[in-house]
Structure 1
Amino acid sequence: MQTLPLAVTANVARIRARTQSMIMAVVKADGYGHGAVTVARAAVAAGAGWLGTTSVAEASALRAAGLAVPILTWLHPSGIDADAAAAAGADVAVGSVAELDALLAQAASTVRVHLHVDTGMSRGGCPRGQWDELIALAWRGQQARRVRVVGVMGHLPRADQADPAANAPAVVGMQEAWQAVRAAGLRSPLAHLAATSGTLTDRATHFGMVRVGAGLVGIDPSGTVEMHGASRLTAPIVHTTAVPAGTPVGYAGAHVTDRATHLSVLPVGYADGIPRELSPQAGVEVRGRRFPVVGRVSMDQIVIDTGAQSFPVGTSATLFGPDGEATPTIGDWARWAATIPHTIVTGIGPRVKRSIA
């Protein structure tokens, strides 16, 4: 199995083969559950020239870890702290006239900003009807040396479809926004629109930079490119018992054994990020074989049916990993839970011990 840094390195190389644009490594949600600093260091070492976070606090943590490349933060759940952004040397995205106005009111020194425009997501970013007002305010702020506009950004609402025609309206919108910013005298800021799916499937979306998050840890939302899995989740068997046919398993006896078999308990449950609603195909790997998860997922435990085999306490089971074969993947768990791989890796709870191979 590849180590986490090697997997991230391989994924950045796969991204680089698809684009000539700069690469931003987005390490929000603690590096998609894999450790923001570890993923960031590996991505930068592999050639990523920028980092992306949700908050200035996350950017500050990366700076404290010694990462010196440009960092952009764009969600600001607690608002934009201009002083903290300046202290961290972090760029901030502003997605509304009100947000930029508030930033200008508090900025004691020049803050580097990216104008965040809505290119079809309707989920943040300045609405098209207010672009002129935002750009004019940004120009005044730049003249007053409170901000410096260095970027324009948007999002692709349909990139996962891996269809350039679905991306075309957002591409046109980004082109129009970038041209409007230039026409206002704000020079030629860096434009960026694509995340992992757009990067892998549509060069027209790349502009000057692409923002890759899920792809760093082996997830391609478009399902078109095989990436390198970056994580493994294991748990020890803590209890094993032999049961006859007709034995109910777990709460409400949602599963009943149809034969004499062995059941083993793993000490992970929905409090640890194991999806509670799973299809009957869900399973884990033990000693090279896959065994089904049976009964309801509990807060702290799941049960697997190991058939004729009885495993001693302490035997390691692999819930997911990059190996293939009997080992389930993150994608398998996403299918079993009728969700996306992102929710699997970001949902692993704090009780699960992390280690970096």
Structure 2
Amino acid sequence: MRMLGTTAPSIRTAPSTVTLSHDAVAANTARMVSLAGVPVMGVVKADGFGLGAASMARAVLAGGASELGVATCDEALALRAQGINVPLMAWLLHEGAPVAEALAADVAVSCATAPQVRQVAAAAREAGCRGIVELEVDTGMHRSGAAPAEWPELFHAARDAERAGALVVRGVWTHLGSTTPDPGTFDDPIARLERAVALAVGCGLRPMRRHAASSLAAVVAPRARLDLVRLGASLLGIEPVSAAPVGLAPAVRWTTRIVQTHAIAAGERVGYGGDYRAEHDGAVALLPVGYADGVPRSVSPGATVVIGGRRAPLIGAVSMDQCVVDIGHLNGVAAGDPVVLIGTRAGEPSLAEWARLSGTIAQEVLTRLGPRVARGGQEEA
């Protein structure tokens, strides 16, 4: 028997596991490459939406993506450290970012202001290389990117750095803010991007590409595909338009095991606050996951899990580390039985279902998964 205070066991376990189907990601990538008809950048930022950036990157490359995108230089360098040497772009420059190290590792970076251009040019000189840069312009989203009034200053700064031999400007790009499937909502920002590119050329630059579309625009607005599309969520099987799916395969599976079962009598309450009261005698099962692991408090009541091929509802308030499931309608359920929280198979709770119950989007559900959730290997969808 291991006594308290002794050395912890060398084999560590986790209360739940989220598994990424590499085959499904590769198939989704191939589907989107075929649909887009232009090169695809696989976006694996935020550690591959919380699922493992290197794992997701290899799957999207196997499916036909020609390059990768991330938010920060640190994320790009982490991929390089994993031996991923394809074209790679990082677009969020922040104070203290390892820009020189990224440029030396052949990572392209994005600039949205003239000071950023000068910062990257200085970093390129420090690294002893010619940095690859893309210039982001704001086309109506009012988030990242240079505002139209700032375009001349940005383009002239980039031209000067390029002529000095510090940088080469590879592209001009933007983010699209519309989240509706109406293709007309993308017309104005694309027209603005085209004006920005024309101005860049007029300032003496020769950008080789323009890009704007993420998954939604790539599906519904062919005009927005331009020279490249940047895809992330769709590669994980998240349909850009749920009412008109393009045939993507669910790629994410989250499972756990029951740790305890016990009987409950009619009238007894469950969870903090006691908001749930049993209507009849039955049984409940305890799952070792809670809101610290990514089960939002808002999903109970409403969410269901799958035990032994059948749905069972969450009841009572979700705790930080635990939640409770009503199993009164199931027979033979015991501690140790597997539970599917988010599944990839027919009849299992989907990622879209969890997003709807949480009042958010599927991407946020994934990035909410906590550090106690083990990230698994290949799982067939």
Superposition TM-score, scaled by structure 2 size: 0.90
Match of 1:271 in 2: 292
Match of 2:5 in 1: none
Q: Residue 182 of structure 1: CA displacement? A: 2.1
Percent identical among aligned pairs is 37
Map 1:1-357; keep pairs closer than 5 Å. Answer: 4-108=21-125, 109-158=129-178, 160-223=179-242, 224-225=244-245, 226-278=247-299, 280-309=301-330, 310-325=332-347, 327-357=348-378
AA in 1 matched with 2:113: S
After superposition, the Cα gap between the structure-2 partners of 1:106 and 1:62, relative to the gap in structure 1 and judged at 3 Å, is: closer
After superposition, the Cα gap between the structure-2 partners of 1:92 and 1:79, relative to the gap in structure 1 and judged at 3 Å, is: farther
User: Does the 8 A contact of 2:211 with 2:226 survive in 1?
Assistant: yes
For 1:82 and 1:278, the matched residues in 2 are separated by: 41
3-state SS of paired residue (2:35): coil
Unaligned 5+ residue runs, structure 2?
Answer: 1-18
3-state SS of paired residue (2:296): coil
AA in 1 matched with 2:134: H
User: Does the 8 A contact of 2:162 with 2:168 survive in 1?
Assistant: yes
For 1:279 and 1:183, the matched residues in 2 are separated by: 57
For 1:222 and 1:3, the matched residues in 2 are separated by: 22
After superposition, the Cα gap between the structure-2 partners of 1:60 and 1:106, relative to the gap in structure 1 and judged at 3 Å, is: closer
User: Does the 8 A contact of 2:300 with 2:317 survive in 1?
Assistant: no
3-state SS of paired residue (1:129): helix
Please provide the CA RMSD for this pair.
1.5
After superposition, the Cα gap between the structure-2 partners of 1:279 and 1:161, relative to the gap in structure 1 and judged at 3 Å, is: farther
1:58-99 Cα offsets, whole Å, 9 max, x none, are 111212222221100001344543311222210000011222
Say which is worse superposed, 79-88 or 11-20, in terms of deviation: 79-88
For 1:231 and 1:332, the matched residues in 2 are separated by: 13
Q: Residue 180 of structure 1: CA displacement? A: 1.7
User: Does the 8 A contact of 2:282 with 2:327 survive in 1?
Assistant: yes
User: Does the 8 A contact of 2:20 with 2:51 survive in 1?
Assistant: no
Say which is worse superposed, 299-308 or 60-69, in terms of deviation: 60-69
User: Does the 8 A contact of 2:316 with 2:324 survive in 1?
Assistant: yes
AA in 2 matched with 1:111: G
Say which is worse superposed, 102-111 or 234-243, in terms of deviation: 102-111
After superposition, the Cα gap between the structure-2 partners of 1:204 and 1:99, relative to the gap in structure 1 and judged at 3 Å, is: same
Match of 2:9 in 1: none
How many pairs does the alignment contain?
A: 354
For 2:71 and 2:64, the matched residues in 1 are separated by: 21
**Bigger relative contact order, structure 1 or 2, given CA contacts below 8 A and separation 6+?**
2
1:255-282 Cα offsets, whole Å, 9 max, x none, are 1111111100000000101111125321
3-state SS of paired residue (1:232): strand
For 2:180 and 2:91, the matched residues in 1 are separated by: 24
For 2:97 and 2:289, the matched residues in 1 are separated by: 38
Match of 2:7 in 1: none
For 2:94 and 2:377, the matched residues in 1 are separated by: 29
For 1:182 and 1:189, the matched residues in 2 are separated by: 11
User: Does the 8 A contact of 2:103 with 2:124 survive in 1?
Assistant: no
For 1:179 and 1:247, the matched residues in 2 are separated by: 70
1:274-313 Cα offsets, whole Å, 9 max, x none, are 1111253211000111010000010000100011435111
For 2:21 and 2:50, the matched residues in 1 are separated by: 12
Give structure 1 regions of 4+ aligned residues with deviation exceeding 3 angstroms: 77-82
After superposition, the Cα gap between the structure-2 partners of 1:21 and 1:308, relative to the gap in structure 1 and judged at 3 Å, is: closer
Q: Residue 341 of structure 1: CA displacement? A: 0.6
User: Does the 8 A contact of 1:154 with 1:193 survive in 2?
Assistant: yes
For 1:114 and 1:220, the matched residues in 2 are separated by: 28
For 1:145 and 1:161, the matched residues in 2 are separated by: 42
After superposition, the Cα gap between the structure-2 partners of 1:70 and 1:92, relative to the gap in structure 1 and judged at 3 Å, is: same
Q: Residue 54 of structure 1: CA displacement? A: 1.1
AA in 2 matched with 1:171: I
Say which is worse superposed, 198-207 or 179-188, in terms of deviation: 179-188
AA in 2 matched with 1:139: R
Unaligned 5+ residue runs, structure 1?
Answer: none
For 1:173 and 1:4, the matched residues in 2 are separated by: 38
Match of 2:10 in 1: none
